[in-house]
Amino acid sequence: MDGTFPIGARAVSSDVTFLAIDPSTDTRIEPAFAVSSEADVGEACKLADAAFDLFRETDPEVRAVFLETIADEIEAIHEPLVARAIQESGLPRPRLEGERGRTTGQLRLFAKHLRAGTWASVVIDEAQPDRKPMPRSDLRQRRIAVGPVAVFGASNFPLAFSVAGGDTASALAAGCPVVVKGHPAHPGTSVMVGKAIQAAVAKCGLPEGVFSLVQGPANELGAALVKDARIKAVGFTGSRGGGLALVALAAARPEPIPVYAEMSSINPVILFPAALAARGEALGKAYVGSLTMGSGQFCTNPGIVVAVDGPDLDTFVDAAAGALGEAAPQVMLTPGIHASYDKGVAALAGHDAVQTLARGTEAEGANRGRAALFSTTGKAFVADPALSHEVFGAASIIVRCTDLAEVHSVLEKIEGQLTITLQIDEGDHADAAALLPTLERKAGRILANGWPTGVEVAPAMVHGGPFPATSDPRTTSVGTAAIERFLRPVCYQDLPDALLPKAVKHGNPLVLPRTEG
């Protein structure tokens, strides 16, 4: 691997370089990667803009084959890619092998979605020349790509939410050229995937500006990308501060653009009385499994459990505390993320209204995250918003409530969420039904008798939710519906067939599904 990054068809180098850090040893690792300049950002955006009209009008089949070619190119570098991602993220091999599969599976799912054609939302209202009192025009609607898209790679998913992750796959599927700002925690992984996409662009004979990657350790680079007038939408997964900074930059542009930022979520788990009575111990153990997986570095991590206090909750708490007390420390993604985890845990441990129930085993080695389990009361939780802030990592707080009415008050108090999980048995259905309208207002995904981590990439998935889970609650960043973020409707009124795009021509040459008005 060399240290260049792909801009269009070129491999760009620079005298200014940076090194990745292996978080497991806190040591810098070779090779040195070129730091992209603001001029590189400008060049990437210029090429993306030049590619746009041609790329967006490619037949869906051409883009489907392109996405499949990217998947093939990534599979061809599977072993070195996974090895490098392990080094740069500290994540274990099985997790990264799975993530590689999820990444290529996601690309292929979008290819299938393109072939199905529903994404184009073609609606035809045939002319009614004899309508009284006024004739109706011929109206034809389809959706087109919004323009070049900026994608920010996430630190916690070096493959599935990064260079060829869900944001990139959905934007390319829509027909938007993509400029990725790689996460500085995994530059080697980003460059390897970036070059795989570059190779796929060439193999498919597409314009070079369809894809570029810029990267470097300073956030001015990302800011320059969002401010570039040729960028028309942004996809982001990361911190609340980072996401909000990008939203502010995009809103301050002469031409404001949408930012689809997936940010902070504490993913409440509600234990209902009958379920708690029937299987409190098993639930306690399973909860710790979900909480500590991947050192808790998921935005879907169960950061809060809410239940009515009593002996059944004690059984759950004892089982959870016992399991968590045996949880081995795991390497966290970056020294910064580890430091902010420790700070968040220390703040909870030092809070007057919070009791520390258990800590994972002692951490040895660099950047090891020690799991942490806390409890508080419903009253204290409602009184102090600080108790509901996300601590990114394997830390969670159990909120003991006096009754179901207090459970409801706690849920009313929480901010928007990616997920809310219900642990319910049949005897809980009436109580759960009473809560459902609140839960729908608060979350993008409501699940029963499972755990929120591990998002299925599927057409019905919603990985989104009200602020601060995301900056736009109307969409999802996972699943085929993610393509809708990067499309907009255009209506053609009375255009002669010769001028109509293929998607809405009278003969329907692309064989797209149509709604007839």
Ligand X SMILES: NC(=O)C1=CN([C@@H]2O[C@H](COP(=O)(O)OP(=O)(O)OC[C@H]3O[C@@H](n4cnc5c(N)ncnc54)[C@H](OP(=O)(O)O)[C@@H]3O)[C@@H](O)[C@H]2O)C=CC1
Ligand Y SMILES: O=C(O)CCC(=O)C(=O)O
Q: Which of 483, 436, 185 is nearest to 334 (CA)?
A: 185
The pattern of x and - marking residues 272 through 301 that bind ligand X according to CB under 6 A reads ---------------------------x--
In the complex, minimum distance from the CB of residue 468 to ligand X, in angstroms, rounded to a whole number: 9
How far is CA 185 from each of CA 125, 175, 216, 282, 373, rounded to the nearest angstrom?
Answer: 51, 29, 10, 37, 28
Binding of ligand X by 218 (CB under 6 A)? yes
- Stretches 260-268, 369-377, 395-403, 425-433: which one binds ligand X (CB under 6 A)? 260-268
**Least Å from the CB of residue 355 to ligand X:** 24
Q: What is the enclosing helix (H) or strand (E) of 281?
A: helix 273-292
Q: Which of 31, 101, 117, 242 binds ligand X (CB under 6 A)?
A: 242
Whether residue 516 lies in the annotated active site? no
Region class of 471: left (phi > 0), else alpha (psi between -120 and 50), else beta: alpha
DSSP string covering 324-353, please?
HHTPPPEE-S-HHHHHHHHHHHHHHHT-TT
Torsion, CA 78, CA 82, CA 84, CA 86, rounded to 10: 180
Locate 309 and state its tokens: 């206090």
Residue from 63, 102, 143, 183 in contact with ligand X (CB under 6 A): 183
The distance of closest approach from Cβ of residue 198 to ligand X in the complex, given in angstroms and rounded to an integer, is: 20
- Report the nearest approach of ligand X to the CB of residue 190 (Å): 10
Q: Of 216, 86, 226, 214, which is closest to residue 159 (Cα–Cα)?
A: 86
Query: What residue 471 binds from ligand Y, ligand X, none (CB within 5 to 8 A, per partner kind)?
Result: none
* Beta pairing partners, 34: 17
State the nearest-atom distance from the C-beta of 182 to ligand X, in Å. Answer: 7
Task: Give ∠ CA 280-390-23 in degrees, rounded to 5.
Answer: 100
Torsions phi, psi for 385 (to 5 deg): -60, -25
- Residues forming contacts to ligand Y in the complex (CB under 6 A) are 154, 156-157, 161, 237, 298-300, 453-455, 463
By CB under 6 A, residue 245 contacts ligand X = yes
- Contacted entry of ligand Y, ligand X, none for residue 453, CB cut-off 5 to 8 Å set by kind: ligand Y
Dist CA 289 CA 320 (whole Å): 9
Q: From the list ligand X, ligand Y, none, which binds 300 (C-beta under 5 to 8 Å, kind-based)?
A: ligand Y
Contact predicate 45/179, CB 8 Å: yes
Is 392 among the residues that bind ligand X (CB under 6 A)?
Answer: yes
Among ligand Y, ligand X, none, residue 219 binds (CB under 5-8 Å by kind):
ligand X
Which option in ligand Y, ligand X, none does residue 454 bind, with CB closer than 5 to 8 A by kind? ligand Y
**Residue 299 falls in the annotated catalytic set:** yes
Taking CB under 6 A as the criterion, the residue among 141, 237, 330, 475 binding ligand X is 237
Task: Output the CA angle 395-407-266, nearest 5 degrees.
Answer: 30
Q: Which residues bind ligand X (CB under 6 A)?
A: 152, 154-156, 181, 183-184, 217-219, 222-223, 237-239, 242, 245, 262-264, 299, 337, 340, 392
Catalytic (active-site) positions: 262, 299
